[in-house]
Every structure is written in C-alpha cells, then in structure tokens.
C-alpha cells in the first residue's frame, strides 16, 4: 500500500515501529566488545540510513495526510456553516409564511409542521409528529384533499377547502407538492376566509335588489333557466308567478317616491315570507313587478302561495286612496308545467305574463292561472 493511501494511525504506527527497530539494533551493537562491533556498525549504519529514509518518507506522508485532513475539516466546516445558514433561511421563510405549513407522509401522518399551524390549535410542533392527519378533527376536506393527492400521479396540486377552527368554518387555499420520490408532501394552507366573505358580499350585490333585498332580474333569469333544466331531468312541475302592484304609478304620485319605496319593501317582504322552501325564489322583476319561481310545484300549489301573499297584504292594509279597496293590492298571473325538450322557459314566462295581463283586464286584485302555453 502506498504511503499516501494509508490512514494517519497506520503512518504513526510505522514511525513507532521504525524507532523501535533502530533502538534494538543500537542495543545489540553496544553488547559486543569494541573489537567485535565493526561488522555490526556497518549493518547499523546501513539500517540507520534505510530507517531514516523510511522515517522521512513516512513523516512526509503523515504531514501530507494532516494537510489533507485539515483541508477536509475546513471544507466540512464551510459546508456546515452553509447548511446552518440554509436552515436559518428556511426557518425564516416558514415563519414569514402567513399560513399553515406541514410535511405529510404518503401514509397520511404528520412529519412536521410550522409554528403557526401548531399555535392555531394550541399545540407544539412536536405534538404533531407521527400523528394521523385527522387527529385535529378539523373536518374531512383537508383529509380528502391530501389522500386524493397521494393517490394521483401529479406532483403538485392546489385547491380550496373548508376547515373547522374552534368551531368556526375557515376557508383555505391549499398548495401541495410531493418530494422524496413521492413518499411525502410539502403542504401550505393560506387562510382566504376574508376573501370568500368579500366575494359573497359582491355576489349578493350582483344578484340582489338593493331596495327590496330580494333577488334582482339577473338572478331571476339565471335561476329560471337552471331550475327549468333541473325540473326537466327530474320530470317535476315548475310554477312561475308574475305579479304587479295595482295602480302603483298613482300611488307614487299621491304619496311620493319615498312612500313608494316603502311600499315596494313591504310587498317584497310579504312575498318572501310566503315562499320560503329551499329552491323557491322571489325576485324584483321590474319597477313594481315581482316574480316567484316555485320548483316541484303544480299550479294549485302556486295558487296557494299567491293567496297567502294576498292575505298578508290585506293584513298590512297599506293605504292607497286611489284603489277601489282603499289599500294596496296586487294582481297575479300563474303558469305551470313539467318542462320537456318540446317546451321552453321563455314559453312559461310568456304564459304567466298573459295571465297577469288578464288579471289586470278583469279588474285587478285577483289571481289568474294560465290555461295553456303557446310554443316558446
């Protein structure tokens, strides 16, 4: 084996052995009489030269090895410092992330979490390690998202989930990426609850009438088309009520626009009170016109709703001196059918409009049910 290939311990052992060999030769030489030493002196000199050369070579190899070890130690120290800096940077990034960060194994157990996630549930990060991801009891959305992610071939995914934190529903945007040959995933959850709440407000503003606080015309149009398709699939009847406040222009001229707005609000509230089933929709169709969409409701059910609205309005007795009854009344037009591919929701709408026109022509303050639909 070459000296440069030997370990530091091996080189030191060789130097010690050489020194022992030299000492042994010197001891043997001193044991003879001076006249008998001549042969050994020559041998000892030759051995000393050889040993000195070997010792020099070994010492040089040892020195070179020390230099290499020192260089390696320096590199390791620099690498250790680099790793420490990288670790500090990662911890700083994780601390700055405004959300929940976790490392999860493919068998759905926590490998680690950041401080923010731990504090959110009143735990320490160490208390998460090794636990099943469902142990927090925050709802099934997160569990299902992670499980489906590991089952899929994709390496990264994002989506929105809802979790229960201290009994309150919170919305999160989840971003996930696999690592370690897909045996684990790095997952970040950002709280978007405020954004969702803002979107809900904007959605309400876009689909609700600001004055009456019921659905607006846009919402009515979208709902009528959607419910038409649904009732066609389910082969259930769909009823539509169009109604109009009788002599409302005269009411405004008599009492003023502020009173007119108050009247619209009261009528809208009476209609909303009469149609509260899931799927029912009350909308402001026009100025003083209203519409009710009643899924899975035959014509007689729609008539019952219209009668309840009339009864509520009579109980309110909103004064209207230009009306023959002395108070505000409403006229109703009703149309009902089971949607098919041969009919259309525009036909349903036109049929209800004709029935409303008939109610007004016959003296107002009445309910008229369409006798049939013309092709839409």
Residue-wise pLDDT for 299-315, tens only, equals 999 999 999 999 999 99
Report residue 194's pLDDT band, with 50, 70 and 90 as the boundaries: confident
Angle at the Cα of 275 (from 310 to 330), degrees rounded to 5?
25
pLDDT the model gives residue 271: 95
Residue % of the chain over a pLDDT of 90: 51
The three-state DSSP-derived secondary structure of the chain is CCHHHCCHHHHHHHHHHHHHHHHHHHHHHHCCCHHHCHHHHHHHHHHHHHHHHHHHHHHHHHHHHHHHHHHHHHHHHHHHHHHHHHHHHHHHHHHHCCEEEEEEECCCEEEEECHHHHHHCCCCHHHCCCCECCCCCCCHHHHHHHHHHHHCCCCEEEEEEEEEECCEEEEEEEEEEEECCCCEEEEEEEECHHHHHHHHHHHHHHHECCCCCCECHHHHHHHHHHHHHHHHHHCCCEEEEEEEECCHHHHHHHHCHHHHHHHHHHHHHHHHHHCCCCCCEEEECCCCEEEEEEECCCHHHHHHHHHHHHHHHHHHCCECCCCCCCECCEEEEEEEECCCCCCCHHHHHHHHHHHHHHHHHCCCCCEEECCCCCCC
Average confidence (pLDDT) over 122-138? 90
pLDDT the model gives residue 376: 34
pLDDT the model gives residue 129: 92
pLDDT the model gives residue 1: 63
Where do the domains of the chain lie? 3-91, 97-195, 208-369
- pLDDT reading at 198 higher than 90: no
| pTM score, whole prediction | 0.55
Residue with the larger pLDDT of the pair 292 and 136 = 292
- pLDDT reading at 333 higher than 90: yes
Q: Does 67 qualify as catalytic in the annotation?
A: no
**Domain 208-369 falls in which CATH fold?**
Alpha-Beta Plaits (3.30.70)
Least confident of 92-106, 165-179, 198-212: 92-106
- pLDDT reading at 367 higher than 80: yes
Given CATH 3.30.450.20, say whether it is the number of domain 97-195: yes
- pLDDT reading at 38 higher than 90: no
The candidate with the shortest Cα–Cα distance to 137, out of 116, 159, 163, is: 163
The residue from 14, 147, 235, 288 that is catalytic is 288
pLDDT the model gives residue 374: 46
pLDDT the model gives residue 273: 92
Q: CATH topology of 97-195 equal to that of 208-369?
A: no
- pLDDT reading at 86 higher than 80: no
| Mean pLDDT value across the chain | 83
């Amino acid at each position: 084996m070459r000296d440069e290939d030997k370990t530091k311990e091996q080189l030191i052992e060789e130097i010690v052995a050489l020194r022992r060999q030299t000492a042994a030769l010197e001891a043997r030489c001193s044991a003879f009489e001076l006249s008998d030493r001549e042969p050994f002196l020559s041998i000892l000199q030759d051995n000393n030269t050889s040993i000195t050369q070997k010792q020099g070579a070994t010492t040089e190899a040892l020195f070179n090895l020390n230099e290499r070890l020192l260089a390696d130690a320096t590199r390791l120290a620099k690498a250790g410092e680099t790793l420490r800096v990288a670790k500090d940077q990662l911890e700083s990034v994780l601390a700055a992330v405004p959300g929940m960060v976790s490392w999860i194994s493919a068998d759905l157990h926590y490998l680690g979490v950041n401080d923010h996630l731990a504090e959110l549930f009143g735990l320490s990060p160490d208390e998460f390690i090794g636990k099943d991801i469902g142990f927090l009891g925050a709802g099934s959305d997160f569990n299902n998202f992670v499980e489906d992610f590991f089952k899929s071939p994709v390496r990264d995914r994002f989506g929105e989930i809802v979790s229960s934190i201290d009994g309150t529903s919170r919305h999160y945007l989840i971003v996930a990426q696999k690592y370690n040959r897909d045996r684990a995933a790095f997952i970040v959850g950002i709280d978007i609850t405020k954004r969702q709440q803002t979107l809900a407000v904007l959605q309400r503003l876009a689909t609700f009438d600001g004055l009456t606080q019921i659905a607006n015309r846009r919402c009515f149009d979208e709902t009528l088309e959607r419910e038409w398709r649904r009732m066609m699939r389910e082969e259930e009847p769909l009823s539509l009520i169009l109604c109009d406040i009788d002599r409302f222009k005269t009411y405004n001229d008599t009492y003023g626009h502020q009173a007119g707005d108050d009247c619209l609000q009261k009528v809208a509230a009476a209609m909303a009170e009469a149609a509260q089933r899931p799927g029912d929709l009350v909308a402001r169709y026009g100025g003083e016109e209203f519409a009710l969409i009643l899924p899975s409701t035959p014509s007689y059910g729609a008539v019952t709703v219209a009668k309840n609205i009339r009864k509520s309005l009579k109980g309110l007795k909103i004064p209207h001196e230009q009306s023959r009854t002395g108070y505000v009344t409403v006229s109703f037009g009703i149309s009902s059918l089971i949607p098919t591919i041969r009919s259309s929701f525009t036909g349903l709408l036109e049929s209800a409009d004709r029935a409303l026109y008939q109610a007004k022509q016959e003296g107002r303050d009445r309910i008229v049910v369409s006798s049939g639909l013309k092709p839409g």
